[in-house]
Amino acid sequence: MRGSCARPLLQTAALALALGCSSPAGQAASRQQSPAAKPQGPAQAPPTGARGFEPIRFGEGNQAYQAELFPGTARDPAIAAPESVLGVPVGARPAHHAEVLRLWRTWSEESPRVVLEEHGLTYEGRELVHGVIGSPENIRRLSAIRADLAKLADPRGLEPAEEQRILASAPAVAWLGYSIHGDEMSGVDGGLALAWHLISGRGPEVEGLLEKVVVVIDPMMNPDGRERILSILEQSAGYVPNLDDASLQRGRWPYGRGNHYLFDMNRDWMPGIAPETRGRWKAVLSFHPQLFVDAHEMGGQDTFLFSPAREPLNRHLPAKSQRWNATFANEQAAAFDRHGWSYYTREWFESWYPGYSDAWGAFTGAIGILYEQARYAGQPLRRASGEVVTYREAVHHQAVSSLANLQTLAANREAILRDYIADRRANLEPQPERRDVFVLARGRHPARERYLLETLSGQGIEVRAASGGLVLTDAQDARLAVHESVELAGEAYVILPAQPMSTLARAYLEFDPRFGEAELLDERRELERKGQSKIYDVTAWCLAQALDLEAYWCRSAAPLDEGELPLAPPEEPAAGIRAPQTDAPPYAWVVDGTDDRSVRFAAAAMESGLAVQLADESFESAGRAFARGSLLVRRHENAADVAEKVAEAARDAGVEAFATPSARSPGAGPDLGGQHFHLLARSRIALATNTPVSTDAFGHVWHHIDRELRLPASLVDVQALGGYDLRPYNVIVIPPASGRLRSLLEPAAEDLKSWVRAGGTLIAMAGSATVLADEKLGLSSVRRRQDVLDQLDEYLFAARRERAAGEISIDSEAIWNPPLEPEAPAEPAKDKEKPKVDVDPDAKRHDEWLQLFAPQGVYLRGLVNTAEWITAGCGDEMPVYFDGSQVLLSRRPVRTPVRLAPAAELRIGGLLWPEARQRLAESAYLTVERLGRGQVILFAAQPGFRGYNAATARLLANAIVYGPGVGADQPLGW
Ligand SMILES: [Zn+2]
């Protein structure tokens, strides 16, 4: 499911059903035929009526689809059949993680064709494995085969004779990954069927294949998601068969698509937030596969889609390997034709964002192939035509697809290996006419810089360290400004272009990926004629922008000391206490607020009971400068164990706490005992869950609170918000939700308002923020643009006045000697002076038209008010991730700490149509408004999108951890 994967984000529900990888909507029912399969685990199905009743029936029973999956193959009887563990034929019901593991363990003991390797653990502690299948001879020399393929993958220094030997002798490697989206289940069972076929099959067809190809099977890419949806499906299954596609028996919130934190791991290959992804990077790169299959499912009424993709294709995709896609498609099609099955290629499947599984496989040198099988959720289903389709059929499709692709790989082994090495050689060729060297200047955000290093190095990209300064020529920075030359005095990371993974680095770090003319025309036509977009994921993703780092693409980067640029070693943050050189007890400890980890320090320190202060200005202490947003723990405000607690919190957070002997700030900044330091209050967080909250967006926020901030959050059911006693919480976070949230908040609005007035911090974002901006709820005076079309000029004026206030200059001559006739103020007429008229229906229609061109994941320039506490750790502008058609407008007394830039400077990366530029220019990105003793904080888009948008996630972290203390009033203790 790729198409639908993105659709919830894009708010086009109809498409989600029509396209693939369907959104969680639209799963359905089950018919059980004859003997019931026991729903859980490998135990035998109980004989019907044996205990006087028949249990519910999950799966389709072994009568449903009788076809043999691989007919005519002789089998080794010593190899355990899947049925021996499942109790039913493979595909009769979805297998559990424990069953899949047990089968693979058994096979690895039984068969000389199998090796089982582990590559990680899920968040819920489930083992991640991959099984390697080859001829006994290839399995025996597996390390030598891996070493040979590593030489092709990095051909620097490879001798021609050695290369010829490898090309003549090495098997090609196929990596087959199943069901990265947990509720797209048939891949896993298809993979089991295929594995058994390859391990137990006798005769030249299977044995010949295994001499030419080493098959690596990632049998269950998302065990946590699969077990979650299996639990739901089994709980929802009935005794009476139900073929309804729309039944909740096909799943419900939070579904099984994501991992434990509901992250879409088919978008995570680039940022590697999930441990599953990081484990897989290492495992895949230890094989250097030539074929990379990613098996999904899409809407239940669909058929089967496979590669190749349609335009737009990411321009950095290796050329030679991808030419094989047509050959693979033709032979996969022929295999389907032999059965008379329906299928299609291209249509909605594009390959623009580089962080999908198959795209990642392609960037690392393989032929990347996507499957999308119609989803039945483990059960039979009736299609619109009346045809009843079964889960085991879906499993059959997956298995046949995989085998067809393996056969194509085997038949073309040497030619594909030759193209593989040709692509890698092309990556090593310098392109002197391009800005081809990537440079990251160190120091702006240390934790984010370390993350980027780990993320790129972890995927095989060589990152070099420059410690003696660099001169860059013809450099473009991450906010798109071009410089003839740039001199960097401090440390930097450098990515040189001539390396085997250079295309992956370019694809990830390109500042402004642009569609070609034809693709733009195509998209525009789709929007104008059909009112829908052909793009199904983000159009910008540059990590340097997502992390707001000081980065450049340049033509050359010369070390000032003319030294070498060694590979950058992994870095651990310095953490703990930096003590002064005296024996006197310190006055306080200070943690610099630049680093995002300082927020985690504050959270940990408050959890341990420390009183922590937040600085609203920069200052000097302990012999160094500290940025605004730095944290102060005073000795006299805490108990005797304060030093140990500070040290522990600093270690936990990975920051340094500087002990300072004095409250005096020697420079211009405030002294440490005064009013520029604000006592924080421990956050007690409620996080809204359940439909209509977006599953993955909820997961992104939850992950941030739990894993980044390390704070407990109470998950509260948004459906029943009015029924909670909200007093135990001082922060409520509502992740992005659909407009249906409005009807849920209406009855709870008064309670929520009272709670905010009493000191609560209410945080909402994207869809949920636009709901809170509804005037009728009375929670915010921020407004959706389409609701104030008659006041656009006033909002614009307010925005400009606000910006001017940040850029004050004084014309003293005009004050002391004013001109005789002062200029008339430009302020528009006040409401009361204007006749109240209904909004022009043409204006509404026009605005609806403009909304069609909403961006689908872009980076926009956010102008930051650095006088606001919520922007601690941010510079005066930052890239902000944005998607969707909702635009928020704000004016005083609402404060707007981050406002989108004027039209001319608005776009940083991604496709932003002029219509969207016009609507978004100078609108609000982040608003803070007081309500009684509390506050309402709205983000126009999702700040922690996919876990890698750390620049805007910092704003969310500040809101959650600092909000209760500095933006709201808590009762004084006594
Ligand atoms: Zn999918």
Percent over 90 (pLDDT), the chain: 80
pLDDT at 810: 75
CA distances (Å), 380 to each of 208, 304, 394, 400, in order?
36, 16, 10, 19
Separation of 883 CA from ligand 1 center, angstroms?
21
Separation of 363 CA from ligand 1 center, angstroms?
19
**How far apart (Å, rounded) are the C-alpha atoms in residues 277 and 454?**
13
pLDDT at 43: 38
Separation of 406 CA from ligand 1 center, angstroms?
21
Separation of 185 CA from ligand 1 center, angstroms?
10
Structure tokens at 270: 């680039």
Which is it for strands 685-689 and 731-734: parallel, antiparallel or unpaired?
parallel
Residue of 163, 112, 167 lying closest to 134 (CA atoms): 112
pLDDT, tens digit, 9 for 90 and up, residues 809-867: 777 777 777 666 655 555 665 555 555 556 678 889 999 999 999 999 999 999 999 99
Percent over 70 (pLDDT), the chain: 92
Q: What is the mean pLDDT of residues 234-243?
A: 87
Separation of 296 CA from ligand 1 center, angstroms?
4
Separation of 629 CA from ligand 1 center, angstroms?
41
Separation of 462 CA from ligand 1 center, angstroms?
31
**DSSP strands (E only) in 808-947:** 856-864, 877-883, 888-889, 895-900, 907-909, 924-931, 934-939
pLDDT at 100: 98
pLDDT at 309: 85
Amino acid (one-letter) located at 971: P
HSE at residue 170, side-chain half, CA atoms within 13 A, is: 31
pLDDT at 55: 84
pLDDT, tens digit, 9 for 90 and up, residues 536-557: 899 999 999 999 999 999 999 9
CA distances (Å), 669 to each of 483, 508, 635, 674, in order?
33, 40, 21, 11
pLDDT at 430: 76
Quick one: pLDDT band at residue 75, thresholds 50, 70, 90?
A: very high
Separation of 546 CA from ligand 1 center, angstroms?
24
CA distances (Å), 740 to each of 256, 416, 735, 768, in order?
22, 51, 13, 9
Separation of 45 CA from ligand 1 center, angstroms?
31
**How far apart (Å, rounded) are the C-alpha atoms in residues 687 and 735?**
8
Average pLDDT taken over every residue of the chain: 91
Separation of 874 CA from ligand 1 center, angstroms?
36
Separation of 472 CA from ligand 1 center, angstroms?
42
Separation of 298 CA from ligand 1 center, angstroms?
7
Quick one: pLDDT band at residue 804, thresholds 50, 70, 90?
A: confident
Separation of 99 CA from ligand 1 center, angstroms?
22
pLDDT at 535: 85
pLDDT, tens digit, 9 for 90 and up, residues 119-154: 999 999 999 999 999 999 999 999 999 999 999 999
**How far apart (Å, rounded) are the C-alpha atoms in residues 369 and 326?**
11
Separation of 229 CA from ligand 1 center, angstroms?
14
With 70 as the cut, is the pLDDT of residue 353 above it?
Answer: yes
Q: What does 177-225 look like in DSSP terms, one character per residue?
A: EE-SSTT-THHHHHHHHHHHHHHHEESHHHHHHHHHEEEEEE--S-HHH
pLDDT, tens digit, 9 for 90 and up, residues 184-199: 999 999 999 999 999 9
Separation of 217 CA from ligand 1 center, angstroms?
18
pLDDT, tens digit, 9 for 90 and up, residues 768-780: 999 999 999 999 9
